Structures are given as C-alpha cells and as structure tokens.
C-alpha cells in the first residue's frame, strides 16, 4: 500500500464529502480545513475558528469519520483543532467531546503551510517570473531590488503557494519567518489595541527576518492597521529584512491606501501571475495525480484541463471530485464520467456568466413575478425574498462583483447584495424548505 500523508488522506476525504453535503455547507464548513497529522489512527484536522470546530463536531463528525474509514480501511478518530488557538478564550473547552489539540508554538507563530513548496510548484510561462522572483528572494533575502517582493494575480493562481514556499525555505534555513494574511494581521492589531498590547504586536512583526503578508489589499481603508503596517515595513526594510506581499491587483490599483505606503509597495519587485494555459493546467493535474497515487487516464486529465480554465484551486478540486466520484461508483474513469462528476461546476462557468438575464427570469418566474419586479423598488415580503434569492444565485453562479449584481438588480448597494447572500446561505444550512426551493430553481435554470 502506498503510504499517504495526512493531507492526502484529507484531500481525498474532502473530495468525497463534497459530493455528500450541499455546496453551501461544503464551502462554509469544510473548504478551509486542512490536515495536520495522521498518527495512531488519529487524524488532526485544523479549522479556521471555534465556530467551525463546533459545527463539525456536532453535525458532521460521524459523516467525516465514516468517509475516512472508507478511505483508509481502518478505524479513525478525528481531532479538530483551531488554527489559531491563542485567540480561544482560556479555560473554556469549546465543546464536550471535541478533542482540542494545541499546535506547537512555532507552527502557531508562522502559520506556514508545509504543503506549499517550490518543488511542487509547476512553472510555466504564466508564472515563471513570479516563481523566479520568489525563489530568488527566499534564497538571498533582503536585496533592495527584491524588497519588497510584490506578487499579484487572480484567485487560485498560486500566490499563497509561492508565499508559503518562500517561508518554508527560509524557515528551514533557520530564519525567523512571520507569515500572516492581511486579515490576520488586522485582527491581531485590533486585538492588541483592545488588550493594550500593541508593543507585543509590533515586536512580533519587527523581529522577523522575513515578513510575508498574504492578500495585502485587505488592509485598504483600515487606516490604523495601515499605519502600523507602514512603520513595521519601514523598520524591516531599513534593516534589509525581506518582505513579500501578495495581492489581487498591482499596488497602483489597490483602492484607498495612502500614497506613501503605495509608493513603498512599488519600491522592490512587482510581478504578476497570469492565467495558466492548457499545457500548464494539464501539467498541474498530472503532477497532482501522480503525487497522490491516483491512476487517471490521460484523456480524463485533458478533459478536466480543458474544462477548468480560471483557477488552479478549482482545477485540483475537480480532480478530487472526479476521483471521489469514480470511487463511489466503483468504475473506471472516462471523460464521460468526469463530465458527470463536474456537471454543476460546468453550469457555473462560463455559460451562466453570460446569462444573468436568464437567471433573473428563472427566479422571477419561480415566484410568479416579473424580472422587472426584482429590479423594482417594491418592498413587500415576497418580492424582497425573491430578490434576495436572485442575489444569492448571482453571487454563487456568476463571476459578477457585488457591485455589478447590485446594478443588475435595480441599482442596489453592494452591501445589500452581500447581506442578502449571507442571509440566504446561512438559512440554507438549516432550512430544508429553502434547500428544496433552491434546488428546484437550479434545476429549472440548468434545463434552459
Ligand atoms: P491564490 O493564493 O493565488 O488564490 P493558491 O496559492 O491558494 O492561490 O493556489 C490554489 C491552489 O492551486 C493551491 O492548492 C496551490 O497549491 C495550487 N497551485 C497554484 N498554482 C500552482 C502551480 N503553478 N503548481 C502547482 N500547484 C499550484
Ligand atoms: Mg491566496
């Protein structure tokens, strides 16, 4: 038998769980989890917060364990741990029966994901500059030309992967690496204000040999956080400590950050990652299939690579999904089978994207309304509900931004769209009637 790492087992389990729970459930509770270790039949899974930990423990534990038993063919116990245990209220066991495990202090300090290395990053035309720059800066940190290193690109194109690869390489060489998403950075900063521990906060960051901040665009508009980052940035750069940042856009497109910070972000090397071409997508799939020991006919890999174009995370998710599907059906994988397994992903892209009007019409008809009602100012209960459902669908199934969804629906504010989406998504977790309705609308729409 091939020995599999904790993360490989967990990835396979996630692929199967994806088929067994609703999409919304999967996104909310499972997508952001990862496996930390697998020993003595115990799999330690880390989750982003206690809320998710409690939910998984209460509602999905038995399904998860059953799925894992199917995969490993042995009894397996799952322990759930929160990614960042230092934010847990002390002496407050989250939940009876929930095994909380403390991470070693270093893992907690760096939060690096060991899975992401330079070795397992597939290099091609679309990302070779970013790759070379990241590797260069990790090997010879602190050179002014590379400092800061600023990587930008769309969702799921490998920014977080490269940033972690830098951190892993540097940490292995004994450097003090501090890695945080800009969101974590912000939260820590806010907590430190509240607890009057801004000194500790600053020390943690300014003592870094290498500072890695993921999704830096997140701090835009958060003035105090930005200010604090600005000072840390200056200190580190003056001391020739390497700084690397990722973002969804180049520095000059980040909305509302101060000019003095913007110009500093441009001081070093800025490089973008482009969408992967077909050959790259195929190479990534081959790489992953091989690593996980799954035997997948070449035409199936090609099929998947042709189908998923925008996002490497989705590409990998699709492979997991196809593998899981064939395991469930116990049959050989063919491109047709892969097509079935990916059915709803296909309807999500790009066909749907060009059909927002049809989507609105489907929702309106389902509730015996006109599309114009959805766009109107009407505020009676049933129109408002239908409108929220429409927003939910637009958000889930198109690549439209919150703002453009708002525009499609009669010029509503992005925040309204985001609230509607959240409300429906939350309600969907526990409301079978709503699940039925959403399912029916989905079917009607898919058939059109
Ligand atoms: P981003 O941070 O840009 O949204 P991630 O770094 O999280 O994207 O990448 C999404 C997934 O795709 C990760 O599992 C990552 O390992 C994988 N991935 C992205 N680019 C590559 C690549 N060039 N080679 C191998 N895996 C990749
Ligand atoms: Mg990322």
The CATH number of the domain holding residue 31 is 3.30.300.180
Low-confidence stretches of the chain (pLDDT < 50) are 1, 85-109, 346-353
Q: Which two tokens stand for residue 319?
A: 């492979």
Q: Is 33 in the same domain as 96?
A: yes
Residues 342 and 391 in one domain: no
In a domain? residue 118:
no
Query: What are the structure tokens assigned to 192, written together?
Result: 């430190």
Do the domain assignments include residue 261?
yes
Q: How many CB atoms lie within 10 A of CB 411?
A: 9
Whether 131 is in the pocket of ligand 1, judged by its Cβ within 6 Å, is no
| Ligand 1 atom nearest to CA at 124 | 23
Examine the domain organization and report whether 378 and 341 are in the same domain. Answer: no
Residue 120, domain member (yes or no)? no
Same domain, 291 and 208: no
Model confidence pLDDT, tens digit, residues 304-348 = 999 988 889 889 989 988 888 777 777 778 888 888 888 755 444
DSSP letter string, 206-220: HT-SEEEEE-GGGGT
- Ligand 1 atom with least separation from CA of 122: 24
* CA 353 to centroid of ligand 1, rounded, Å: 23
Ligand nearest to the CA of 164: 1
Tell me the best of 113, 126, 156, 286 to mutate to test the pocket of ligand 1, counting ligand atoms within 8 Å of each CB and taking the most. Answer: 156
Q: Ligand 2 mean position to 83 CA, how many Å?
A: 16
Range of the domain at 77: 6-100
pLDDT tens string 127-170: 999 999 999 999 999 999 999 999 999 989 999 999 999 999 99
What is the atom index within ligand 1 of the atom nearest the CA of 155? Answer: 4
Query: Which of 312, 314, 318 to mutate to test ligand 1, by most ligand atoms within 8 A of the CB atom?
Result: 312
Provide the CB-side half-sphere exposure for 171 (13 A, CA).
21
Q: Domains in the chain: how many in total?
A: 4
* 110 in any annotated domain: no
Q: With 0.85 as the threshold, say if the pTM is over it.
A: no
Q: Is 312's C-beta closer than 6 angstroms to any atom of ligand 1?
A: yes
- Give a yes or no: residue 105 inside a domain: no
Q: Are 79 and 43 in contact (CB under 8 A)?
A: yes
Q: If we measure between CA atoms, which residue out of 281, 236, 233, 253 comes closest to residue 152?
A: 253
CATH of the domain at 158: 3.40.50.300
Q: Which of 319, 346, 373 lies at the terminal end of a domain, its last residue? A: 346
Q: Side by side, which strands form the sheet with 77-82?
A: 34-39, 42-47, 77-82
């Amino acid at each position: 038998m091939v020995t599999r790492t904790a993360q490989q087992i967990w990835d396979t389990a996630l692929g199967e769980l994806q088929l067994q729970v609703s999409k919304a459930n999967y996104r909310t509770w499972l997508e952001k989890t990862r496996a930390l270790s697998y020993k003595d039949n115990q799999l330690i899974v880390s989750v982003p917060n206690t809320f998710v930990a409690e939910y998984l423990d209460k509602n999905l534990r038995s399904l998860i364990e059953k799925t894992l038993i199917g995969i490993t063919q042995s009894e397996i116990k799952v322990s759930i741990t929160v990614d960042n245990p230092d934010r847990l209220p002390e002496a407050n066991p989250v939940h009876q029966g929930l095994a909380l495990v403390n991470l070693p202090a270093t893992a907690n300090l760096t939060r690096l994901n060991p899975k992401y290395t330079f070795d397992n990053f597939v290099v091609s035309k679309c990302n070779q500059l970013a790759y070379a720059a990241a590797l260069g800066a990790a090997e010879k940190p602190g050179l002014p030309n590379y400092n800061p290193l600023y990587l930008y690109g769309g969702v799921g194109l490998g920014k977080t992967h490269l940033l972690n690869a830098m951190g892993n390489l540097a940490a292995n060489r004994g450097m003090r690496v501090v890695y945080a998403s800009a969101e974590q950075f912000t939260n820590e900063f806010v907590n430190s204000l509240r607890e009057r521990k801004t000194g500790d906060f600053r020390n943690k960051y300014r003592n870094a040999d290498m500072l890695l901040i993921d999704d830096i665009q997140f701090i835009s508009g958060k003035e105090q956080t930005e200010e604090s980052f600005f000072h840390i940035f200056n200190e580190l750069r003056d001391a020739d400590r390497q700084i690397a940042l990722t973002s969804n856009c180049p520095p000059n497109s980040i909305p509302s950050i101060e000019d003095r910070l913007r110009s500093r972000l441009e001081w070093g090397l800025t490089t973008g990652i482009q969408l992967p071409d077909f050959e790259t997508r195929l190479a990534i799939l081959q790489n992953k299939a091989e690593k996980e020991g799954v035997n997948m006919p070449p035409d199936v890999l090609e099929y998947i690579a042709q189908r998923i174009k925008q996002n490497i995370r989705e590409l990998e998710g699709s492979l997991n999904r196809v593998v899981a599907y064939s395991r469930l059906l116990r049959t050989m994988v063919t491109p047709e089978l892969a097509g079935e397994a990916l059915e709803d992903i296909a309807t999500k892209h790009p066909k749907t994207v060009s059909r927002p009007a049809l989507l609105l019409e489907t929702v309106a008809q389902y509730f015996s309304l006109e599309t114009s009602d959805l766009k109107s100012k009407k505020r009676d209960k049933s129109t408002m509900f239908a409108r929220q459902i429409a927003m939910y669908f637009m958000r889930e199934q198109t690549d439209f931004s919150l703002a453009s969804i708002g525009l499609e629906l009669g010029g509503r504010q992005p925040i309204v769209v985001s609230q509607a989406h959240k409300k429906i998504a939350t309600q969907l977790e526990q409301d079978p009637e709503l699940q039925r309705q959403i399912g029916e609308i989905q079917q009607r729409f898919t058939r059109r």
